[in-house]
A = this chain, B = another copy of it.
Amino acid sequence: MSELKNDRFLRALMREPVDATPVWMMRQAGRYLPEYRASRAKAGSFMDLCMNPEMACEVTLQPLERYPLDAAILFSDILTIPDAMGLGLYFETGEGPRFKKTVTTAADVDALPIVNTLKDLPYVPDAVRTIRRELNGRVPLIGFSGSPWTLATYMVEGGSSKDFRKAKAMAYNEPELMKMLLDKLAISVTEYLNEQIKAGAQAVQIFDSWGGALAHDAYLEFSLAPMQKIVNGLIREHDGRKVPVIMFTKGGGQWLEPMAETGVDALGLDWTTPISGARSRVGHKVALQGNMDPSILYAKPDRIRAEVANILSDFGAGSGHVFNLGHGITPEVKPENAGAFIECVHELSRQYHLQD
């Protein structure tokens, strides 16, 4: 493997000194980029794009050609694991992801296999290897997975949901059944992320998109506990370097303390949590990633710049901050606004790292 030329992102995750705050964007390879839309049209379906390592590599690198981003993230979908378990993932236009089979009964949960990544999802480590080769040490590559609770909601509901009625009913009425499902997912996700690490992912992020929809105790029981199992089982050092782990629960600002207790290296924040408050609560344990409202990217570059300045000043001096949006960038954002955002993070953050 070639030497890493820009390690700001990994250093910030380890709370080591940096010259400027690193930045990347969730969903940075996505529909707001015309070149992405062209690749997507060429590939066929969204899953065709994910399952073709050369194409996945192509779109992963597209935002890096435009912007001085400090990390690449594997282009893939969070629902590869339930798909590999045999549920039959498909996408309906304008409807989001759907599954042909849903998980409703104990027999359904029993029938689910544990995922074997090399056998069931070989295209994922293949894509990781291809991207690492093409990145050639420019920036680190992030691997990722959905959290068990997040995956379970799609599997039980059969797709997206507004109120997670069926998944919550299973959790409340048949907690042992839900936990069997979450256990199978935690084991599968652990193995899946470890295969990404072995293939070359230099950091991993667990996306808990829907943990924030749970009540306080239910979050700890059904979302955080299975993520803890994953954290316990991850390869934390590979190829002579630590592999930092980022945990991101959207809407999770009220649970930062127990999240930081899991032993992850960094927590992702959405924009509802002030980063200064998060730093004073858990900054002695973990780095923080976030947390600009992606809707700010609809504003004029001056306003974007002012908001970046606010967040940098709110975090304050020293390392331990990876700048990001508080959720994925949306398709309607102008690419030049994303560029203005990324450039001013670097420019405005240097003053906070003079003592690093």
Q: Which residues does A use to contact B, with CB under 8 Å?
A: 163-165, 168-169, 172-173, 212, 214-219, 251, 253-254, 271-274, 292-296, 298-300, 303, 307, 310, 326, 330, 332
24 A-B interface contacts by CB (under 8 A): A164-B295, A165-B330, A168-B293, A168-B295, A168-B298, A169-B295, A169-B298, A172-B296, A172-B299, A172-B303, A173-B298, A173-B299, A173-B300, A173-B303, A212-B272, A214-B272, A216-B272, A216-B273, A216-B274, A219-B272, A251-B272, A253-B254, A254-B272, A254-B273
Q: Which residues does chain B contribute within 8 Å of A164, judged by CB atoms?
A: 295
Measured between beta carbons, the chain B residues less than 8 angstroms from A292 are 215
A104 → chain B, closest Cβ, in Å? 14
Q: Which residues of B are found within 8 Å of A251, using beta-carbon distances?
A: 251, 272
Of B163, B217, B254, B310, which one neighbours A254 at CB under 8 angstroms?
B254
How far does the alpha carbon of A251 sit from the alpha carbon of B252 in the complex, in Å? 11
Minimum C-beta distance from A291 to chain B (A)? 8
Chain B residues with CB under 8 A of A332: 165
Asked whether B272 lies within 8 Å of A165 as measured between CB atoms, the reply is no
What residues of B have a CB within 8 angstroms of the CB of A330 in the complex?
Answer: 163, 165
Residues of B near A168 (CB, < 8 A) are 293, 295-296, 298
**A299→B172 CA distance, assembly (Å):** 6
CA distance A303 to B174 in the complex (A): 10
Excluding A165-B298, A172-B296, A214-B293, 19 further A-B contacts by CB distance (< 8 Å) are A163-B330, A165-B295, A168-B293, A169-B295, A169-B299, A172-B298, A172-B299, A172-B303, A173-B298, A173-B299, A173-B300, A212-B272, A215-B271, A215-B293, A216-B272, A216-B273, A218-B293, A251-B251, A251-B272
